[in-house]
């Protein structure tokens, strides 16, 4: 049994609710007539319970893979750990510097070049001018975007975008690294490189939480896996066992296509 001082993240009875609107009794006709005229349609408030009474202790140095179906609440959980989404109920305690690489978009400005966004990302992470100067080249090199580094990020492909995001977040010296699906959009060469970099971070006993549908990555890289469904924790344990249990549940055989993103 490890003591509380080993805890990187403690999640206690976490609930996250989204408020959203849905159109009351839509028909094809009303949808067509209403296109582009949102204000004329009858709308109802709907509450989505994305995370429901979730408890999890994550120890320093663990590499946790979070798996589960689309809409299970994985990204919501990660955003809450990152402090981007406040808990509706419950508590999250984080010990250490967090660096996040959330699914496309958080933090970068599409009008600015890759270079400018690196500086922005570093400033947002609280780095000093000297620290930025030191890391700038390494980040650029790792992302390996060629001329695109000087183009506005709105012109990037989604893979280029996540390469830069990945490169910035791993070079922030985080105690805790949060990653949402990031490895899956890079090309084969970049995937290989980021996997190696992740192994390096794992070896340095950083705490890492990875949300992924690439079950093979979860098996190879993680020390533990957490299976989430409908906002709840279903099972936690050894990655091989948890991914198997999840595959049995969704009734898919452990073929290569189920293990990796295709
Ligand atoms: N901004 C939002 N407003 C309203 N509902 C949302 C919002 N974001 C997510 N949801 C809902 O919350 C639930 C959990 O979504 P979430 O994105 O956390 O799932 P996920 O496990 O990351 O799924 P995926 O594997 O598809 O990425 C879903 O029902 C989703 O529709
Ligand atoms: Mg998600």
CA 9 to ligand 1 centroid distance, Å: 22
Query: Higher confidence at residue 185 or residue 162?
Result: 162
- The verdict on residue 24 lying in a domain is no
pLDDT in tens, 34-50: 777 766 567 788 999 99
* pTM for the full predicted model: 0.83
- The verdict on residue 15 lying in a domain is no
Q: Is the CB of 70 under 6 A from ligand 1?
A: yes
- The verdict on residue 49 lying in a domain is no
Q: Is the CB of 51 under 6 A from ligand 1?
A: no
- Classify residue 163 by burial, with Cβ atoms within 10 Å: 0-12, 13-18, 19+: buried
Here the tokens at position 253 are 């055989």
Looking at the predicted structure, is the pLDDT value of residue 218 above 80? yes
Looking at the predicted structure, is the pLDDT value of residue 106 above 70? no
Domain count, the chain: 1
Q: Is the CB of 79 under 6 A from ligand 1?
A: no
Q: Is the CB of 74 under 6 A from ligand 1?
A: yes
Looking at the predicted structure, is the pLDDT value of residue 253 above 70? no
Mean pLDDT of 61-85: 93
Looking at the predicted structure, is the pLDDT value of residue 105 above 50? no
CA 148 to ligand 1 centroid distance, Å: 31
Name the residue among 113, 61, 211, 8 with its Cα closest to residue 225: 211
DSSP result, 190-255 = HHHHHHHHHHHHHHTT-EEEEE-S-HHHHHHH-SEEEEEETTEEEEEE-HHHHHHHHHHHTT----
Average pLDDT, the chain: 86
- The verdict on residue 211 lying in a domain is yes
What is the position in ligand 1's atom list of the atom closest to the CA of 78? 18
Q: Which domain holds residue 150?
A: 4-10+58-259
């Amino acid at each position: 049994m490890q003591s509380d001082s080993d805890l990187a993240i403690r999640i206690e009875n976490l609930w996250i609710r989204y408020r959203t609107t849905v159109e009351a009794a839509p028909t094809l006709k009303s949808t067509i007539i209403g296109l582009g005229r949102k204000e004329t349609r009858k709308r109802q408030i709907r509450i989505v319970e994305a995370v429901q009474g979730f408890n999890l202790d994550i120890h320093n140095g663990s590499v946790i893979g979070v798996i589960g179906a689309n809409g299970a609440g994985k990204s919501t959980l990660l955003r809450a750990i990152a402090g981007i989404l406040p808990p509706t109920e419950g508590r999250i305690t984080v010990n250490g510097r967090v660096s996040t690489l959330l699914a496309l978009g958080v933090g970068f400005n599409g009008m600015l070049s890759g270079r400018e966004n690196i500086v922005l990302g570093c400033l947002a992470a609280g780095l000093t001018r000297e620290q930025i100067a030191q890391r700038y080249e390494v980040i650029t090199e790792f992302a390996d975007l060629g001329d695109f580094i000087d183009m506005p990020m709105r012109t990037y492909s989604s893979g280029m975008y996540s390469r830069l995001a990945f490169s910035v977040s791993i070079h922030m010296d985080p105690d805790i690294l949060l990653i949402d699906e990031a490895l899956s959009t890079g090309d084969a060469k970049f995937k290989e490189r980021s996997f190696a970099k992740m192994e390096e971070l794992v070896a340095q006993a950083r705490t890492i939480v990875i949300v992924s549908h690439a079950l093979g990555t979860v098996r190879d890289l993680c020390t533990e896996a957490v299976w989430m469904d409908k906002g709840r924790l279903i099972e936690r344990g050894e990655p091989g066992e948890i991914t198997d249990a999840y595959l049995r549940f969704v009734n898919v055989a452990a073929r290569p296509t189920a293990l990796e993103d295709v």
